[in-house]
A and B are shown apart, each in its own frame.
Chain A
Amino acid sequence: MARTKGMAKNIVRYLLLIVVCAWTLAPVAWMVSLSFKGPTEWYAPNLIPAQPIVDNYINLFIPTNPIGGSHFFTSITEPITKPLINSLIAAGLGTLFAVLVGFLAAYGVSRYRAGGTFIIFFTLLTRMLPGATFVAPLMVFYSSIRFIDTYMGLILLYTAVTLTYAIWLMKGFIDEIPPEWEEAALLEGASPWTVLRKVTIPLTKGGLAASALFIFILNWSEFLFALVISVTQVTTLPVQISKYVSAVGRMYGTQASLGIIATIPSVALGYLIQKHLVTGFTFGRIR
C-alpha cells in the first residue's frame, strides 16, 4: 500500500517537472524550430519545419545570401561577427569590472562597515526606477562627453548598472564566511590583501562564480541602453537581432537563428562553472 502510494507521488512529481520544463522551454523550442524554417513557414504553426533549411544561419555570416531562394533580402550587409565581438567585449568587460569593484566594495561594507548601515539600500535605489527613465538624460550626458557609440561608454554603463547587483550578491557571500578565519590569517602575519587573496576568495569562489554568471547574463542580454548608445560601431547582439527586417517584414527565421547563437556563450559559461554554481546558487542565503 505504502509503496504504490510512494510511486504515485513520484509520478505526480515527475509529471509536474515535465510540465514546468515544457512551459519554460517552449519558447526556446519554438525559436529552434523557427531558425530552421524558410520564409514561407515563418507564420505557420507547425513545430517541425516541413522543409528545414540552414539558410537562416548562413545568412548571419554571409548576408547577401537570399534565404531559401526567396525574395527576402535584408537591409543588413555585414556579417554578425562584429556585433558578436562587441557583445563579448561590452558584456565581458562590464561583468569583469562590476565583479572586481563590486567584490572590493562588498568586502568593505561587510568587514569594515563602510558606508554606514544603509549603503546597500542606497545602491539598490538605482534599480528601483525603470531603465527608460534614464535614457534621455543618458543620451544628453553621453553625447556631451562624446561617449555615444564608443566601447568605453557601453562598458562603463554596464559596469555602473550591474554594480548594484554585484555588491548586493557578494556581500551576502562574504557575510557567510566567519571573520575568525580572516583574523586567524592576520595573526599569522598575513597582510589584509593576502587575507583577501588566500582566505576570503577561495572560500567565496562559488558565490563569486554565481554572481559573475548572473551579471554576465544581465549584460549580455541588455537591449535598451545598447540600442540608445550604439549607432554603428558598438552594436551588440540584442540590437543586431532587432535590425533583421526586410522590405516585406521582419525576418523571424534569421532573428531566431541569431537568438540561438546568442545563447551559446551564456550556456557555455554556465556549463564551465557549474561546479561552483552548486555551492553558490542558493540565493536565499542573502539576508
Chain B
Amino acid sequence: MPKLVVKNIRKVFGTFEAVKDVSFQVEEKETLCLLGPSGCGKTTTLRIIAGLEVPTSGEVFVDGVLVNDVPPQKRQIGLVFQDYAIFPHLSVFENIAYGLRVRKMPEAQIERKVHETAALVDVEGILDVPGKKLGLSEMQRVAVGRSITLDPKLLLLDEPLSNIDAKARERMRAELGKLQKEIGIATVYVTHDQLEAMTLADRIAVMRNGLIEQIGTTSEIYDSARTLFVANFIGSPSMNQIDCEFVYDEEQAILKSGGFSLDITEFAETIRDRSKGKELVLGIRPENVSLDIEKTDPKAIEAEVQLVEPVGAKSIYHLKISGLTVLAKDYPMPEANVGVKVWATFNKDKLHLFDKKTEEAIL
C-alpha cells in the first residue's frame, strides 16, 4: 500500500491559485521528486502534505489514513526545511533529541536513539556544538537527523541544497543520496534543480503553474518527455528545439524548416496518426547529435561550427545548420574549430516531436 497518497489537491491564497490539481502516490522506500520552476506550487504542496497549510480542497492520505484534519504534530512526518531551521539556542544533541524529549522518552533511550541517529548522519563529533555555530553541511545533517529520530512514516525535504554554493552542493548531493539509501523511508523531495532531481529521485513529478506536467522515472522523463516544457526543463544543456513543418507524400516524409530538412519516413505513419496539425517542434538533445569531420553517414547534415565549449570529457558545439542554431555534445575533435564544416547526424531513436505546444508524437 502506498505510503503517501495525494488526491486532487487544490490551494488558493486569496485570489491566487498556487496549486490547481495535484495527485500522486509515493510507495514505501521510494523517493519522489517534485521538480519545477519557482512559483509552480511544489513547496505549497509539500507544506500541505506536512500539515502546515490546509488545502482548499483535496485529500492527503498517509499510510492509508486520511490526515486532512490531523495537525502537523500528529502526522508522524519529518520535514527538512530549506534553511534547515536548526534551533540555534540548543546543541546538536538537543536538536536531534527534540522530538524524543517532547514525547517524554526516558533519558537512557534518548541517549541511545540520538547516538544512533548521529552515527547515521555523521555528526557524532559535534554533538555539543550549539546550533548557531554550525556550518551549512553540518546543519543539513543535523536537520536530516532530527527529522528521522521519531521514525516518521514519510520524509519531506524542501530544497535542502539550494542555499549551498556549487562546489559543496556536489558533495552534499552525494551525501544526501547515500543517506537516503541507508535510511530507506518514503521521501518527497522538492527542488528546482533538475540535476538534483535526476540524481536523487526514483521518480520525478515535473510541475508547472500548480499542475503536474508529467510524472515518471528519471529515464522516462528524460527520454520520453510528454510535453515541451518537461523536455526543456530537464537536461543540460537544454534540448534543441526546431520549429518545423511536417511534409509528406507517398514515398517519404520530412521535417522541414527553412533550408533544413530531416528524413523521418520511418515514423511517418505514427506522426500522421498522432499529430493534429502540420506544425511541429522537433526536439533532440545535444548528446544525441553526433558529429564527424567527414560525411561518413550518407544522411548526415552539413553544419558549420560557430563556437566550441570544452566542458569536460565531451565538448559542446554550437552549430549553424541552414540558418538554425543547433547544439551538439560530442567528443572533442581537434580539427573542428570555429568556421569549420562538419557533418551532423541526428540519432533517430532519440527524436522528440511535439505539437506546437504540449503533446509529443514519438520518442
Binding site for B on A (CB under 8 A): 178, 180-181, 183-191, 194, 199, 202-203
User: Which residues does chain B contribute within 8 Å of A189, judged by CB atoms?
Assistant: 73-74, 99, 102-103, 150
B87 is contacted by which of A187, A191, A194, A199 (Cβ under 8 Å)? A199
A187→B102 contact, CB < 8 A: no
Q: Is the CB of A184 within 8 A of B85?
A: yes
Structural contact, A187 and B50, CB atoms closer than 8 A: yes
List which B101-140 residues lie within 8 A (CB) of chain A: 102-103
For the complex, give the distance between the alpha carbons of A202 and B102 in Å. Answer: 16
**CB < 8 Å: which of A186, A199, A203 contacts B72?**
A186
| Smallest Cβ-Cβ distance to B79: which chain A residue | A187
Check if A178 sits within 8 Å of B85, measured CB to CB.
yes
Q: Which residue of B lies closest to A191 (CB)?
A: B73
Assuming the contacts A184-B79, A188-B146, asked whether A202 and B72 have C-beta atoms less than 8 A apart, the reply is: no
Contact indicator A188/B89 (Cβ below 8 Å): no
Closest Cβ neighbor of B81 among chain A residues: A180
B59: Cβ under 8 A from any A Cβ? no
- Give complex CA distance A190, B99 in Å: 7
CB atoms of B99 and A188 under 8 A apart:
yes
Known A178-B83, A188-B102, A189-B99; further 15 A-B contacts with Cβ < 8 A: A181-B85, A183-B50, A183-B52, A183-B85, A184-B87, A185-B102, A186-B52, A186-B73, A187-B51, A187-B78, A189-B73, A189-B103, A189-B150, A190-B102, A203-B89
Give the distance to chain B from A265, nearest Cβ to Cβ, in Å: 30
Contact between chains at A190 and B73 (CB < 8 Å): yes
Known contacts A187-B78, A187-B147: A181-B73 contact under CB 8 Å: no
- CB contacts (< 8 Å) of B103 on chain A: these are 189
Q: CA separation between A180 and B150, bound complex, in Å?
A: 19
A185 to B51 Cα, complex, angstroms? 13
- Taking the nearest CB of chain A, how far is it from the CB of B141, in angstroms? 15
- Considering only CB atoms, which chain A residue lies closest to B96 in the complex? A188
Instruction: Check if B150 sits within 8 Å of A183, measured CB to CB.
Output: no
Minimal Cβ-Cβ distance residue in A for B78: A187
Interface residues of B in 41-99 (CB under 8 A from A): 50-52, 71-75, 77-79, 81-83, 85, 87-89, 98-99
CB–CB B89/A202 < 8 A:
yes
> In the complex, which residues of chain B have a beta carbon less than 8 angstroms from the beta carbon of A183?
50, 52, 72, 79, 81, 85
B71 to chain A, nearest CB (A): 8
Whether B73 lies near A187 (C-beta < 8 A) is yes
**Most chain B Cβ neighbours within 10 Å, of A187, A189, A191, A203:** A187
Measured CB to CB, the closest approach of chain B to A279, in angstroms, equals 12
Least Cβ distance of A203 to chain B in Å? Answer: 7
Return 21 A-B CB contacts under 8 Å, by A number: A180-B82, A180-B83, A180-B85, A181-B85, A183-B72, A184-B81, A184-B85, A184-B87, A185-B98, A185-B102, A186-B52, A186-B73, A187-B79, A187-B147, A188-B98, A188-B99, A188-B146, A188-B150, A189-B73, A190-B98, A199-B87
